[in-house]
Structures are given as structure tokens and as C-alpha cells.
Structure 1
Amino acid sequence: MYQTIDKNFALKVRMYRVEQGLSLRALADATSLSKSHLSDIERGLVPVHLDAVNTLKRVLQFNHRTTSRHVTAFKRTTSELHDMLISGDEAGAQALAATLEKHMITYTSGPLCLEYYLIMLMYALFTERKRIVIEPYFKRVEAVADLLEGSKKRWVLLLRMFYYLYLYDLKRTEQALAALRETTLSPLYEGFALYIEAMLHVYDYRRFTAALEIFDKAKAQFIGLNSFYFVMRIRVIEQRLHVYRQSFVIFWQLHEATESYAQIHGNSLLQRDNQGNVLRYHLINGDYTSMVELIETFDERQQIDQFLQIYALYRLGRHNDAQRLIHMVDITPESSFMIPLQQGIETLAHMIQTDADQLDLRRLVAFAESAYQASNYLMIRISHKILSEALQARRQYKEALYYGERLLTIMWAMTGGVR
């Protein structure tokens, strides 16, 4: 009786062999399979006799069946690990990673192992760990790269590109970028790649400049929804390096390339998202007049646009106009994103109607915390700014400093920086 090997099982076999440092010959001898047959199994190419499958499971200790409960628990744990990395809790992340790795092979299926390794490789790269720490994770991912498809394949190609850039191997970095472009169905993905790349180089100006030079060769491809985050990351880097204004030049290059692409291809959705990036650009710079002028040109205004318009009018002192717009916003909280938006509208209404030194600080704190829980970057930025200003109006400078510092920490964490 023969059984077709699916790619999940093939991936588990390959990952186990890599983990144990076994050659194909050593594992073939242990399972009484030929080296060529085992190689085919690892690639999921051939049907295998059931006896051989059972032997593989026994030798590789796969008799512990992965249930949906295990998968759910593992995904929840990897999600917690990711949150710890983003929030900067390195001690917690290391402890959780050690627990995960201890049970990696027998506790989870191959694809979930890979998901863990991808997270850990990103963690190592983004925190600029030493090569001796990064290399083992890179080798584990590379060992199974040919078995991957879809988004996981693209992630591996992205990580490969970052790894070579980390080594300052510009030739192989360009080769990896070319491979990524061949697998990418949409140029939007390269906008995302650029955003992550900007996160990577927080302190190393040499690699950062090299990355810009490499990506500049394909600048027309750098369009998409993440240019706003890219600019935020660049700004933090430049301020640390005392290099100013360059990020705004880069942003407008991205903006113009996106606008041109959207017009040529008749992509109204991309064009609208690009306008949203410009709107957030003005918010970063505190240019509330330009915010209001831009929003007034929108044919249709999304709820977040309406919120930003109300906030900009409030900051310009146009309280009557802001109050009028508040009553026109129809908010239906259907997701975690909408929850802080609804609270934000209520908070703005409270602010417009109340003197700064009489604001309900508990309401402002609740707004800030709900924004943080929902990982809503814009709401976090605005809520903490509102809270800090309200505290300063009450001469509570120590508390204002605390919330101002917390805002900076969250901003840098959410855009990939390290406080």
C-alpha cells in the first residue's frame, strides 16, 4: 500500500534532518531507504510505501500527532512572541522562544516550525544580532526554501535579501531582489519590502545608504500602501544620524511614482490610498491647514479621513467647524480598528466642549489605552499627544513627560525601531 507524501510531511522530514545535522545518507540508513528515494520524499515528489512512512514517523519521532488544539496554541504563542518583539520585550521573547524551540519538532507540523523560524530570523535581523546568532536561523529557512509556495516563498526571498545586505554582500543582495521581483505579482509588495528594509538599518549608515542605492535602481517599482511607514522609519534614522530633509525627498519620489502608476493603470483604489499617505505625511509635520485642504478634495471620505479632518480643525482652533463635522460621522465599530476611532470621535467632542484644564483625564487615558490595544498607529499618536497636552495645561509636567516618552517608545516600536 502506497501513500502520497504531502508537502507538509516532506517539510517536517527536511526540517528534522536539518535540526539534527544529519546527512541524507545518515537518515536514509536509519530508515532503510535509499538516498535518492529519501531525497524525493523530502521534496514531496513520489508516493511512498506505507511501511516506509511509518518507519520515518518512528525514527523522526512523529508519532505525536499534531491536533488542531496544538496548532491553535502554537499560533497563539508565536503571535505573543511577535508582539513581544514589536514591544521591545526582549527578555520575554527569549524565554518564550526557548520554550517553543524545545518542543518544536514533536509538537508542531513542519509549516508551523517554519513560521517560527521566519519570526526568529526577522527578530535577529531587525535587532541586528551578531552573525553567529542569525546564521543558524537563516540556514534552517534556506534548507526548506524550495518546498515553499505563495506568501511564505516571498517571505523567504525577502529575508534572504536582508540577510545578504546584513553581510554587506551587495551582489547577492541584488540577486535576491531580482528573484523577489520575479515571484511578486504586484509591485505593492516591493513597497512593503522597502518599508521593512528601512526598519532594518537603524544605526548603520553604510548599509542604509547601500540599501537605498540598490533599491534606487528599481525606484519605479517602489509604490504602494506602506510608503507612509517607510517615511516614518527613515525620519527616525535620519534624526539619529543628524541627516534631515532627505526623507521628504524620498517620500515625494514614492508619492509621484505611485500617482503615475495609478493613473496609467486606472487604479483608483491605489490612487486613493496614495492620497491617504500624503494626508498622514502632513499629520507628521503638523501641517493641519494642508490636511484640511487635501481632505476637502476627496470625493468620498472614509471614517479615518473624517476623524483626521476633525482633529486638524480642532488644532487650527476652528471648533465650530469641527463640532459640526462630529455630528456627521456615522461610526459602526465592526473591528478593533474602529473601536479607538469611535472613542477618538467622542474624545474630540469632549475636548472641543471643554477647557484644557478641565478635561476628563480618565477618558483621555482610556482612549490612549484602547488605541494601543488595537495597535492603531494614528490613534496612538494622536491620543498620547492629546493626553500630554492636557497634562501640561494642568501643570502636571512629570506625567506629561511620561506619556510623551511612552508615545515615542510606541512610535518607534511600531515602525521597527528600538527605543
Structure 2
Amino acid sequence: MKDGDCSVILKSIAINDNGTYECYVGIPGSYPKVFSIVHLKVDPVQMNITAAPGHTVTLPCQVPKHNNIKVAEWIRPDLMPDYVFWYQNGWSDPDFQHQSFKNRVDGDASVILKNVKTDDTGTYKCGVVQRETNQWMSIINLTVNPPEIQAKSGEDVILHCRDPSNPNILVLRWIRPDLKAKGYVYFFRESRSYEQYQYPSFHGRVKLRDPQMKDGDFSVILNHFSINDTGTYECYVGRNNTGSDPEIINIIHLKVKADQEDITAKSGDHVTLPCHVPQNTQILVVEWIRPDLEPEYVFLYKNGQSHPDRQHPSFKNRVELKDSGMKDGNLSVIVKNVTITDTGTYECHIYQSQRNHTMSIINLDVHQPGGDERGGDRDGHVGLIVGLPVVVVVVFAGFMIYGICRRLKQKQLPAEAADYELQDLNQRN
């Protein structure tokens, strides 16, 4: 305690260490006096948790051991009532719970939240009552992200919605909030569906995955997906045993899955980059881009005409629609006289109202004609054609000389005969 330093270190502080601390110092011949008063406040543990719909999530609340906990409570301040879970004297009391958490929460201090939904996103606070005081132990920010589903045109898509906590329902609604017209994607009430309440574009295309809706399965199948079906889908369920409005169970973002293709071409070729949409698709803008370029536009079609002024300079006068009228939804373009620098990834995007769809992704690989596969470039081909007869003649001549020498050795021809035969061979070659 040099220089009168009477400070102490409190290790591993916990929420129960909240309080007022006083430092007394006594000197010989006098009573100890208060030299310092410290008010210590330990903030609750804060944590962010992200989950997907349908998962089980643990909301942690660490309470020091050997503490006499009279009450543990979990609340969500934005709800009314705000109780998520209430635990007192060794048992939970569901009477205090918000309706949406019935039969879904277990625990004491830390709790398990089952089958989370997008509507469970929010801030949760854990508090305990000890010695007649209420202390907040932890604050959890829970985010339940809506799933994203990608599908190709013509496919059947399952829109998932499940809540096994109470399979008995009175009303099931699937809606598309982005559609301005009134109606439903799917509407079910009192044991039957009502097609007349659907948007016309969904007539005959949506049905329950399980007509019995066993175990709270409220999923539907959307047949023959098209680009016009992209958007946000919400599943609402109204229960038989409550008089409240249907509650949201799940949210799904449905998007187009882009076609992907690898194309190989030779320098100088004309290459078609394919992109198609269903017939009668309303399109405001068509754009072909190469993300690694600046500007990235390979081709831009807007307000009924192309905009070459927006193109990357390397594509000027080299790109055009394969079908200028884009009949039958053909948005393919032709890139003329491709070069090695055209190698890259090309994306076809279309715009409908406020939505942007990526319809195709093309990986183009351009190489020089010939190369190692053909024995060299164009000049190399010429050299090969000219040089080949020379090689043949040399090999043939060597073979003939070897034969003559072998016969001379075997038959011991006179020197004059050998000279004559060599002269004759040279004249023929």
C-alpha cells in the first residue's frame, strides 16, 4: 500500500456485484474513517442471435450459483402483455405469457424458444428477483431471417409454413403484400379452400402440401413458377381456440434462379449469349453487363431502344439483340468478332417495375484459333505444309542410301556400280 494506495481488485464481476462500496481506513489511536465511496453498476450481458424460421433457439441468462432466485422473467417490451416466460418457486406460469409463446418456451433462467418465426424478431430481457430486488441479467437481440427460395421457370415450388404447437386452425391465409390488387395467394377457412378469393394469376396453381395439415403443416405448393411469381409471401394462421386475428407464422422471399452456361469460342467468332423469359413478360429494361468492367454495360435496352452511349467502349458496334423484337421472350445478344479480352462472366438482367431479376449468367472463354491443339498459329500451319515434303524426301533418301550400302556389303559390288547407283538416286530426287 505504497503512497497510501488502499485500492482493491474485484475479479470476475457478476450482476450481483451491483451496489455501493465503502473504503474505511484507520490509523493508530483513532477509529477507521470512510475515505472512499464507490457505486458499482454491472451492465447486463448483451448478445445478438440470428436464426432461421423453424429452428430452436436458446436465450441465455447466466445467474451466479448458490443464489436464492425467487422469480425469473423473460420479457419483450414491444409486446402486450410483454411476458415471454415467467418462472417462480420452481415452476413456470403460462398465465402471464403472451399468446404467441404458448407451449413454445421451456427453462428457468436460460430458456429455449422452439420453432422460431419471423415474428419472433425482437429484443428479449432476462430479469431475476433476489432479496426483493429486480436485476436485469441479460439482453438478447434475436433476429429471425426470412428464408430465400430460388426457382427456375416451370418448376413447382414449396412455400413452407409450419407451427406444430397448435395444429387446429380456423383460417389459413397466404398473401403477397407487394401485389396491389385485393386477394390471396391461397385462402382456407372451415375445412375448405376458396379459389374465388385468390389473385387470378394463382387460380388452379396453389394447393396444400398436406391436405390434412398434420402436425401443423400449413405449407403450400405453387405449380409452374414463372418470373411474375417473384416476391414476398406471408403465411397467416388463425386458431380455433382464440378470438384474435390470424398471426404471421412465416415470411418467404421467392426469386428467379438464373440459368448458367459455359461457352468456349475462337477469336474472330460471332458468339450468342443466351437469355430467355416467358412469353408476354412485361419488361421495362434489359441489360447485359460484365461486372469486372467500368462501365459494366455490354448492352442496354431501355424505353424501347438500345443505348450504345452507355456501353463499354470495347463493345461499340459489336453487340446486338439476336431478335430485335425480342419475340417469345428471347433476350439473347450476339457479340461479334470476339477477342481474348472478351473472356469473362456476362449477366443478363431485366427490370419489372421496382424489381430486378438476374435471368442468366454466361462464362465466356475466348482463345486464339489453332494454338497447341492444331500445331501452332496460322503462320505455323503454312510452315508445316511447306516443311513436310522436305522431311519426307530426306528420310526417303537416307533410307535408300542405307539400303544401297547394305547391298554393297552383302554382294561386294564393284566401286563403279556403287557410284552409278548413287548417281541414279540423286537424279531421281
User: So what's the TM-score if we normalise by structure 2?
Assistant: 0.24
Structure whose CA Rg is larger: 2
* Larger helix proportion of the pair: 1
